[in-house]
Amino acid sequence: MAKLFGTDGIRGVANQYPMTPEMALAIGKAVASYFKSKSSLRIVIGKDTRQSGDMLEYALAAGIGSMGGDACLTGVMPTPGIARITTQIGACAGIVVSASHNPYEDNGIKVFDGNGFKLSEAVEQALESRILDCLNASTGGRSIGRCDAIMDALEYYEDFLVSTVPSMSLKGLRIVIDCSNGATFQAAPDILSRLGADVSVLSDRPDGININAGCGSQHPEALKKAVIAHKAHAGFAFDGDGDRVIAVDETGDTLTGDQALTICAIHMKEVGRLSGNRVVGTVMSNMGLKTALKKQGIRLSLAQVGDRHVMEMMKAEGAVLGGEDSGHTIFLDKHTTGDGILSALQILEAMQNAGKPLSALSRIMTVFPQILINIPVDVQPDIQTIPAIRDAVKQVEDLLGDEGRVLIRYSGTQPLCRVMVEGPSFEATRTGAETIAAAVRASIGH
């Protein structure tokens, strides 16, 4: 049987293995039996706006109840909100039903421990074994739990985020946000309005099937136009579950996640929050990130792709800031996981502290030309065992020399091979990426 957990929970097409009610029931049983303790029988469950969310949410709750656990339902809630509420009410675990930026046909299940952190690989492996056992078991525990709604969950989450910027006022700022018809559609406009901003909102009418559909962090085109039309100071596009954000400056230009990370790193150093003057990125981080941070006396460490790996390295090295170029940023001195709304607030705080527009701040980091090509694949063998791909990579690396780099990896959430090339010019970078991508398609693509 295929491995259940990918880089960010369990994902798949809703109502197909492994995203079936039967599997969700088993996951609920397994999480309850693994995390349930004498101090807490409660497990928080939240979801994004996909139409399949109800089906999986109720199956999870049934599994939890069958093992004597109490399911605490928040309804639609950004993923980082579940992490926060889990710790607030002293629950033993939190579960999110979401497939993040994936299309509505997909769904997923993410698990947080009682401290609001995503699970380590070791815990995932232990939990996966237990899930498969529960999938084949016909009975639950001797006791039966209850299912209750947390009526003020959204209000608490909003209060928490506002408390992270206690002295900030956004009066006089015009901000446009794109909620991706996802989990931030209520919280994001509420929070920015409470802080005094003049907020214009896009994609805040979820209908169960329009989540991430031509909007949000993966599709910022409408946001860019709206920022210019409203003469806004900044724009922010969230993904479907609200754990990442992409920023747009006042000229309509999109910032990369690495540019936003640079802005926040410099701001945090200036105000004395950047522990150890260290930031954690990933192997996919742009080469310009290291160059920009080095000029500011900030060290950069690189983790494997995935916010869990970023978090693990942050803890190991005592860093409080880390992130991915995708816009997933972790402020460990504020929260236990990546939070798109929190990231937007931190960027706005950096703008106010510097007294400069976002376009000026973004120029602190020069983005090296980077091409990323995703190739659908049927199988995922070790890249080094495929001569044609190995030879193509060597050819491109020899041409780029010290002025570029190549990175090939499989997606942890979709059947894709990701080919990333950075180089000294756009043409050289594009040619290199296309050369390797052609070899991948010919060898393992479909």
- pLDDT tens string 215-231: 999 999 999 999 999 99
* pLDDT at position 1 over 60: no
pLDDT of amino acid 3: 83
Cα-based angle 337, 339, 344 (whole degrees, multiple of 5): 145
> Is 105 among the domain residues?
yes
Query: Would you call the peptide bond into 18 cis, given omega within 30 degrees of 0 as the criterion?
Result: yes
- Both 176 and 88 in one domain: the answer is no
Residues 132/352, Cβ–Cβ less than 8 Å: no
- Both 273 and 326 in one domain: the answer is yes
Domain count, the chain: 4
- Both 77 and 140 in one domain: the answer is yes
From residue 441, alpha-carbon distances to 358, 389, 398, 434, 437 in Å are 39, 9, 21, 10, 6
- Both 222 and 326 in one domain: the answer is no
CATH of the domain at 187: 3.40.120.10
- Angle of helix 257-270 relative to helix 287-295, nearest 10 degrees, comes to 20
pLDDT of amino acid 142: 80
Query: What residue type is assigned to position 245 of the chain?
Result: V
Helix (H, G, I), strand (E, B) or coil at 373: strand
Annotated catalytic, 362? no
Identify the domain boundary among 100, 120, 152.
152
| Alpha carbon distance 60, 22 (integer Å) | 9
For 135-288, where are the E strands, in sequence order? Answer: 147-149, 174-178, 198-202, 234-238, 245-248, 278-282
> Is 158 among the domain residues?
no
By the 10 Å C-beta count (0-12 exposed, 13-18 middle, 19+ buried), 272 is classed as exposed
> Is 235 among the domain residues?
yes
| Alpha carbon distance 257, 263 (integer Å) | 10
Mean per-residue pLDDT of the chain = 95
Structure tokens at 47: 């979801």
Cα-based angle 4, 66, 134 (whole degrees, multiple of 5): 30
> Is 332 among the domain residues?
yes
Give the pLDDT band (50/70/90) at residue 2: low
- Both 24 and 143 in one domain: the answer is yes
* Neighbour count for residue 300 (Cβ, 10 Å): 20
pLDDT of amino acid 357: 98
- pTM for the full model? 0.90
- Both 33 and 139 in one domain: the answer is yes
Helix (H, G, I), strand (E, B) or coil at 7: coil
> Is 161 among the domain residues?
no
By the 10 Å C-beta count (0-12 exposed, 13-18 middle, 19+ buried), 445 is classed as middle
Structure tokens at 409: 């990896």
Question: Averaged over 191-199, what is the pLDDT?
Answer: 98
- Both 97 and 47 in one domain: the answer is yes
- Both 146 and 42 in one domain: the answer is yes
Identify the domain boundary among 117, 152, 187.
152
- Both 289 and 407 in one domain: the answer is no
Domain range for 198: 167-248
pLDDT of amino acid 413: 72
> Is 2 among the domain residues?
no
pLDDT of amino acid 38: 63
**Following CA atoms 23, 27, 30, 34 in sequence, which dihedral angle do they give, to the nearest 10 degrees?**
160
Q: Give the CA radius of gyration of the chain.
A: 22
- Both 356 and 377 in one domain: the answer is no
Question: Averaged over 322-338, what is the pLDDT?
Answer: 96
Please provide residue 267's backbone torsions phi and psi, each rounded to the nearest 5 degrees: -60, -45
pLDDT in tens, 124-166: 999 999 999 998 877 776 889 999 999 999 999 999 999 999 9
CATH of the domain at 429: 3.30.310.50
Structure tokens at 355: 């007294």
pLDDT in tens, 392-427: 999 999 999 888 899 999 987 788 999 999 998 899
| Alpha carbon distance 435, 383 (integer Å) | 15
> Is 32 among the domain residues?
yes
Identify the domain boundary among 337, 362, 387.
362
Contacts of residue 153, defined as CB under 8 A and 6 or more positions apart, other chains included, come to: 46, 74, 75, 77, 81, 85
Please provide residue 270's backbone torsions phi and psi, each rounded to the nearest 5 degrees: -65, -35
Query: What residue type is assigned to position 291 of the chain?
Result: T
By the 10 Å C-beta count (0-12 exposed, 13-18 middle, 19+ buried), 386 is classed as middle
- Angle of helix 187-194 relative to helix 153-163, nearest 10 degrees, comes to 40
Give the pLDDT band (50/70/90) at residue 378: confident
What secondary structure letter does DSSP report for 120? P
Helix (H, G, I), strand (E, B) or coil at 333: coil
By the 10 Å C-beta count (0-12 exposed, 13-18 middle, 19+ buried), 153 is classed as buried
> Is 31 among the domain residues?
yes
Active-site option among 52, 98, 100, 180 = 100
- Both 381 and 358 in one domain: the answer is no
Please provide residue 104's backbone torsions phi and psi, each rounded to the nearest 5 degrees: -60, -25
Looking only at the bridges linking them, the beta strands covering 42-47 and 93-97 are parallel
- Both 221 and 173 in one domain: the answer is yes
Query: What residue type is assigned to position 12 of the chain?
Result: G
Element (DSSP H or E) covering residue 434: helix 426-444
pLDDT in tens, 355-367: 999 999 999 999 9
